[in-house]
Structure 1
């Protein structure tokens, strides 16, 4: 593994400050966001890529804590089929780190034309998503140079946690303010467990990344990062879906990476999955899940000391670090994965 520091590693380390600045920007606007959302009944998330994984977290928060039905949009309904739907009573939340992905802008405008109220979550205050939304929630990640999204992703999650508070979720904003410090502690932790997992993944062609509930978003994003920067055939799955058949692909050559908060209703199922994978002779590695998950895994990395509703903001950080280490271990540049750019345009 080369010793050259990557831009990605630097941007991973910048996340506590980026989250702190995003909270300073957005928490004072809770009333404004709540006023816009008050007449709505459900939430439609419009996103692609890493932003789509962030939207999965937002959807779980909206449903489990704010009692709002939430769903992910299918942008082609708007952009390819041009179907008109009745979206009155809908809060359409467009997520785009650049704010310039044409498909997301077009779908957000389509939602407005169909009667939805619109919120744009973006890292660029001058972008079309910010300018055209009824309300813009601008994250404060600063410039992100490495192609794999790190600090723009975690600041999106932070914005979605603020949105959940504005939607009436009976959660503690004080806990949200503790997130930057919790991630600082994660980043200051020992590097040996991450290095050991990265070493074991060198030479592996595929992996399964799994979590459930609020942590499902982390599983999806971790798998995407491993695909983007390490060219690993990584599948992000809910452990419920994994148990319905794809678990057959987990074997001695295809390890499982399991993610979980240290508490919550899905932790016991994640531990049981780790035990089942291990009993089948497959390597199993954990991120988070406390002592229970660590005890069922071959190797494990601690997660953030945060409540379940906020854990995904921290859980992704070790997965980002693992991706960066593995990419360098494989001789790849984690900052510039082949075939990718910062803004992806689709139609």
Structure 2
């Protein structure tokens, strides 16, 4: 559906302007939260939780996916996503004694998240709030608050607050693990984000102007980026997109892939990369249009099918760099498809679920 009001230029949307601020937001966040994160991480090393639980919705839940893979691969701690309705609707009590309960929210005021965080505290969990609004109800009931420091975000489509959520998770994991490769990547991340913002992803913008459906694929740490991208396709472009693990897509959904069904792959630069690239080649062999965001070449890819993925200071930074490049491309795509990405139909900036 075409917007009735005149559309802004790509650089004039709030989405573009706010996403462009992400590098500065992350740099500010790292500096302001360092003492709090170091204290929290030191305590978690002294008193390690038996497991970690995340609780979030929307883009924040995609950040929780990143937390799962990051905590499990870097810290060896099982991390599970809590379904908010279990506590807020079913009112089922959970056994959370000693657990680390991480609630991620831009506004910090959704009733279901508040009820779950309160129930987790009552059950003996340590509640950490990753939130943009520092005086929100969620921040007030948490044991530790990690502010996003993203500032006001007026576009309905979250950008800088999502990247700030990933950065907060990364900073916590790096100090909790307390080993050089991951910890030393933190000060280098803002400049890498600035480079990612300048990456040319115009081929995927050009190629999806008339699309109706697509898959977005990632794996491991990269799955969160695929989930976030699929959501943004739907809310800003009116384009039906579904996110899958590049392993999980083989269990049925891949039957849809062929001519006229495009695929966007995020090749996470780690042990999962080879499998994702192999799947991209398989889909091209079926006649599908496939784009791959990758740090290295993809044998069999045609001209314009490789999207540059900026080399980051650590593989764990790649999901942030991927999404930063993607945000610029999809802002342009939304406008090409006749949509204003700042005001998606039927959506509000703050969604309060029960």
**Structures share a fold, TM > 0.5?**
yes
Q: 1: distance between equivalents of 2:278 and 2:51?
A: 34
Let me know the Cα RMSD of the aligned residues.
1.6
Q: 2: distance between equivalents of 1:203 and 1:106?
A: 43
Please tell me whether residue 278 in structure 1 is matched to residue 289 in structure 2. Answer: no
Partner of 1:177: 187
Partners of 2:198 and 2:325 within 8 A in 1: no
Mark the CA change 1:295 to 1:281 in structure 2 (over 3 Å): closer, same or farther: closer
Q: 1: distance between equivalents of 2:114 and 2:176?
A: 23
* 1:1-347 pair list within 5 angstroms: 3=9, 5-37=12-44, 38-168=47-177, 170=179, 171-189=181-199, 191=200, 194-261=201-268, 263-287=269-293, 289-293=294-298, 296=301, 299-306=305-312, 307-347=314-354
Q: 2: distance between equivalents of 1:215 and 1:224?
A: 15
Query: Cα deviations across residues 125-183 of structure 1 (Å, max 9, x unaligned)?
Result: 11111111000000111111111110000000000011212432634322111111001
Which deviates more from structure 2 when the two are superposed, residues 298-307 or residues 112-121? Answer: 298-307
| Structure 1 residue runs without a partner (length 5+) | none
Tell me by how many angstroms 1:206 deviates: 0.3
Q: 2: distance between equivalents of 1:130 and 1:272?
A: 44
> Between Structure 1 and Structure 2, how many residues are aligned?
342
Q: 2: distance between equivalents of 1:12 and 1:295?
A: 32
Which deviates more from structure 2 when the two are superposed, residues 157-166 or residues 328-337? Answer: 157-166
Partners of 1:270 and 1:293 within 8 A in 2: no
Tell me by how many angstroms 1:47 deviates: 0.2
Q: 2: distance between equivalents of 1:294 and 1:314?
A: 23
Partners of 1:62 and 1:167 within 8 A in 2: no
Q: 2: distance between equivalents of 1:117 and 1:310?
A: 26
Q: 1: distance between equivalents of 2:116 and 2:220?
A: 27
- Secondary structure of the structure 2 residue equivalent to 1:234: strand
Q: 1: distance between equivalents of 2:298 and 2:168?
A: 29
| Structure 2 residue runs without a partner (length 5+) | 1-6
Q: 1: distance between equivalents of 2:49 and 2:220?
A: 24
Q: 2: distance between equivalents of 1:302 and 1:196?
A: 11
Q: 1: distance between equivalents of 2:271 and 2:182?
A: 19
Query: Cα deviations across residues 95-127 of structure 1 (Å, max 9, x unaligned)?
Result: 001111111111111111111110000011111
